[in-house]
Amino acid sequence: MPDARTEGRRRSTWLASGTSGILTAAVVFGVMSLGALSATEPAAAADSSAVTVTAADQDRSPDPAPFPELAVTVSQTRDLVAQGIQVSWTGGEASTVPSQQTGGRNFLQIFQCWGDTAVDPEHPELPVGPDRSTCQYGGNLTPGATRDAFRDSDESVDPEDADYTVIGDGFASPTYTSIPFRSATGETVASIVDGKKVDVDVNTNQFFTANTTNEIPWAGSGGDGSGSVKFEVQTAMQSTALGCGAAVPAADGSVTGAPCWLVIVPRGTSDSGSANITQSGLFWDAWQHRLAVRLDFTPIGNRCPIGAAERQVAGSELVGAAISSWQPALCNAESGAIFSALTGAESDAAFAANGKDTAPMALTSLPLDADVTDTLAYAPIALTGLSISFAVDREPKSDGSVPVEASQRAGLPFTELKLTPRLVAKLLTNSYLDSLPTLADRDHLSHLDGETRVYNPRTLNNDPEFLAINDPEWAHQSLVAPSLADLLVPQGRSDPATMLWTYVTSDPDAAAFLAGEPDTWGMTVNPWSSTDAKLNPSGVAFSLPRTDFPKADPVEQAASGSSGAVNLVTWRPYVTDLATSAYDTLRGDGLALGAWDPLAFTPKYGKAARALPGQQRVLGLTDTASAARYQIYTAALMNPAGTYVPATNDAMLAAAAAMTADPDQPQVYGFDPKSTAAAGATTAYPLTMPVYAAASPYMEDDEVRASYADFIRFAATDGQTPGAGFGQLPDGYAPLPQAWRDIAVVAAGVIEAGAVPAPTPTPGPTNSGGSPAVTPNTPSTAVAPGASAPVPPAAGNPSAVDEVAAALAGATTPDDPETSALAAAVPASLLGGFAGALAVPFIGRMRRRI
């Protein structure tokens, strides 16, 4: 594990594209626009592209369709990037889950195809759809979901499949049908060549495997015939074989993204020639009932002019999606610049920006935390937050205790989940039994009741505290998985970690639990994460709040035979960042430990395959923008007022209205769970976080300061318009209140105008407290309204600060909530902060945390 200093300077990026969505170098924003809609609060732009198709309108076959009343709605079909969408439907029939022998009964298969290639002359009234050979299908190798199969009889082969079939000559050589895969790159993978079967695997190939395919082989319906599932949309960056979103230039110079198709194949109770679902959904008896929805993509590629100036920003991951959208507008403006990002610890970025040397503009949610003078000007540019995502599918108990209506929802996803700060604490501290290796000594997650040892619950779903506040249907489930016993969390230091731990430790019940007090049902904290040094086996209290998510328990499952030992990080690994956590949640990948591979170059444990829809159990820490991009479900969290609130725009704005200034840096506001304002904010989402762009007016490079100021002005004005297009604010961000936007413009002006370093103070008369007073050797300066210290003249523009101060003095902000203290207090506090930062650059001050 790298140390904090190394990790804080690690180079990684906000999720843009790639198989896992992660690159490991600084990137240039502008590759795409992010416009996904949230699972709880769809954005208007994305919602307008939702499409519903029906079997009645699209079924091409005279044969009875499996579900003639089927109607499927796709949540977003335009402005797509590498993201998630929701596919929901009505008109199905109650499903049966798959087994190792069959694909199940009465379900849907959903997958992605490329190209406008299959023109149907017999049905010109129907939309042109893809040819089945262009579909990414078969990679999961599950029954009823491969590209090829041996047939029970020649009579079971439809004439439409004849060109893809080799007729057998008996038991030893049965009839075989295989649908080739044609890649958008022009290559073809086929196991039938010139009428003969060849040794080629059409399901696992150079274009897709079980680890990379996005197909859904089973999507089930409840007893009422309805259902929904999340689908991973892939672009050419994740699947070159599909080529979706590849730039297509037009004669007029414009560029569009190559379109693709989402295909839904209904599967009934049996296949042709088979009593069950065992054949491919690409074979004609199933394919003829397909529904197809065209998907239009934002073009992939850099939208910035060659030769544009390049600037750097560094720090918070939380604003990455917004900057990706803003970049094309920023770089194409007059004298526009390309902004590249270096993500890592926000505190490191702020420290580097705090001086006269040219440095990346810091992106941070907390002020500089060091024993140095904070000379930064902080401009609010985004209002976002943390989310706890989940993908949990139902698996009712089989003991006869489950109501019929609940048993009929087997395999369907839960869409609502509530958490308290204490439940979050349990997940973060590996206090559930299954969060530790199965064969390790786990007695420290237990207590004695008389002579009986009582262990902590295995997972969140076994915890009486969780069951007491959530839908009663959770209690009917038999859900067991290590990924339900903790959260997927990123490694390294960050402001989001500080925010989450502050949320937890500010709650009396959670704080008492962390100190070692059992909860109401007797569950105790993992002692290695106890804040009581007497209970912590290390002899040192687990310090909270903190800037990271340590896996503090040194537990280890001993090596056995040829298999190696398993420690906690091996058992429950970190994710790269918050966006990766959202991506893993979408894919149902709990990062479970796989089998020992003795044949690897270095023998090691592998990674278990991700769970397919119907069997998913994942909890992850992510951010609201990533959750919106992947359209995953997120938990409602108990706020300081005692209400459970999901992360909607209105809830984040309510939290902003209750934010208070940092006690040592009045430019920076945050949601303090212990404040009186937070306690009264019943509708506030408690993990709401602002993101500030911070730069020093003392930086000597005028051009760089001007570029940073342009960035801030755009981000705080045009960049706050919600939408999926270039330059707009993606879903997952709440538009800034007007007072915040005014503050950002003030900060931009101060940064661009620059500041003259104050001369070294000279000793003055002793003040009444006995300490020496100082008198700066500066001309007389103006005092901004509400400022606590004089503001020195700005370099090249002596009245810059005075003018913006006058513009904001007494200003009203009718768009803000009436309860917000920001409208009146923040501008004055901000200017006072500027004054203090610019007037006393040589006086160090310590920072305190809420």
In tens, the pLDDT along 503-540 reads 999 999 999 999 999 999 999 999 999 999 999 999 99
**How sure is the predictor about 498, in pLDDT bands with cuts at 50, 70 and 90?**
very high
What is the rounded average pLDDT of the residues 261-279? Answer: 93
Helices and strands, number each (H, E), in the chain: 20, 38
Alpha helix stretches (DSSP H) within 615-737: 624-630, 649-657, 676-679, 702-716
Q: Could you give the C-alpha distances from 393 to 34, 333, 457, 727, 757, in angstroms and in order?
A: 27, 47, 19, 37, 60
**How sure is the predictor about 346, in pLDDT bands with cuts at 50, 70 and 90?**
very high
Q: Kindly compute the dihedral angle of the four CA atoms of residues 457, 460, 463, 466, in this order, to the nearest 10 degrees.
A: 170
E strands, 734-810, are 762-766, 772-775
Q: Would you kindly state where each structural domain of the chain is located, as residue ranges?
A: 36-295, 394-574
Supply the pLDDT for residue 199: 95
Pairing of strands 83-90, 452-455: unpaired
Pairing of strands 688-695, 377-392: antiparallel
pTM of the model: 0.86
Q: Look at the chain and count its residues.
A: 850
Type and span of the H or E element at 837: helix 822-839
Q: Could you give the C-alpha distances from 139 to 111, 135, 287, 369, 616, in angstroms and in order?
A: 11, 11, 17, 49, 18
Supply the pLDDT for residue 776: 29
Pairing of strands 51-54, 227-233: unpaired
**How sure is the predictor about 560, in pLDDT bands with cuts at 50, 70 and 90?**
confident
CA–CA–CA angle 711, 687, 837 (5° rounding): 45
Report which of residues 247 and 801 the model is more confident about: 247
User: How many Å apart are CA 272 and CA 267, to the nearest integer?
Assistant: 12
Supply the pLDDT for residue 423: 98
The number of C-alpha atoms within 13 Å of 54 and in the hemisphere containing its C-beta is 7
Supply the pLDDT for residue 120: 61
* pLDDT at residue 786 is higher than 90: no
What is the rounded average pLDDT of the residues 462-477? Answer: 97
The tokens 């990062």 sit on which residue? 591
Supply the pLDDT for residue 117: 56
User: How many Å apart are CA 420 and CA 426, to the nearest integer?
Assistant: 10
Report which of residues 732 and 334 the model is more confident about: 732
User: How many Å apart are CA 362 and CA 355, to the nearest integer?
Assistant: 12
**How sure is the predictor about 118, in pLDDT bands with cuts at 50, 70 and 90?**
low
Q: Could you give the C-alpha distances from 542 to 9, 505, 725, 731, in angstroms and in order?
A: 24, 12, 45, 36
Task: Please list, residue by residue across 5-35, b when 16 or more beta carbons sit within 10 angstroms of its beta carbon and e when fewer do.
Answer: eebbbbebbbbbbeebbbbeebbbbbbbbbb
DSSP string, 303-364: -SPTT-EEEEEEE-STTHHHHHHHHHHHHTSTT-EEEEEEES-HHHHHHHHSSSS--PEEEE
What is the rounded average pLDDT of the residues 159-164? Answer: 94
483 Cβ contact list (under 8 Å, min separation 6): 572, 590, 591, 592, 617, 618, 619
What is the rounded average pLDDT of the residues 469-478? Answer: 97
User: How many Å apart are CA 284 and CA 165, to the nearest integer?
Assistant: 12
* pLDDT at residue 390 is higher than 50: yes
Paired with 794 in beta bridges are 797
What is the rounded average pLDDT of the residues 310-331? Answer: 92
CA 212 centroid distance within chain: 19
CA 420 centroid distance within chain: 21
Name the range with the highest mean pLDDT among 17-21, 323-327, 768-772.
323-327
User: How many Å apart are CA 135 and CA 239, to the nearest integer?
Assistant: 12
Phi, psi torsion values for 389, nearest 5 degrees:
-90, 160
* pLDDT at residue 826 is higher than 60: no
Range with the lowest mean pLDDT among 166-175, 280-289, 599-608?
166-175
User: How many Å apart are CA 436 and CA 549, to the nearest integer?
Assistant: 16
Contact at 8 Å (CB) between 396 and 402? Answer: yes
User: How many Å apart are CA 97 and CA 112, to the nearest integer?
Assistant: 22
DSSP reduced 3-state for 111: strand
What the block records as the tokens of 723 is 């939408």
Spatial CA neighbour of 326 closest among 381, 274, 372:
381
Supply the pLDDT for residue 656: 98
Q: Is 244 left (phi over 0), alpha (psi -120 to 50) or beta?
A: beta
Supply the pLDDT for residue 849: 33
In tens, the pLDDT along 412-451 reads 999 999 999 999 999 999 999 999 999 999 999 999 888 8
Share of the chain above pLDDT 70, in %: 82
Contact at 8 Å (CB) between 604 and 564? Answer: yes
Task: Please list, residue by residue across 615-652, b when 16 or more beta carbons sit within 10 angstroms of its beta carbon and e when fewer do.
Answer: ebbbbbbbbbbbbbbbbbbbbbbbbbeeebbbbbbebb
* pLDDT at residue 835 is higher than 70: no
**How sure is the predictor about 336, in pLDDT bands with cuts at 50, 70 and 90?**
confident
Spatial CA neighbour of 668 closest among 686, 690, 684:
690
* pLDDT at residue 761 is higher than 50: no
Alpha helix stretches (DSSP H) within 665-778: 676-679, 702-716, 738-753
**How sure is the predictor about 38, in pLDDT bands with cuts at 50, 70 and 90?**
very low
User: How many Å apart are CA 366 and CA 690, to the nearest integer?
Assistant: 9
Alpha helix stretches (DSSP H) within 593-680: 624-630, 649-657, 676-679
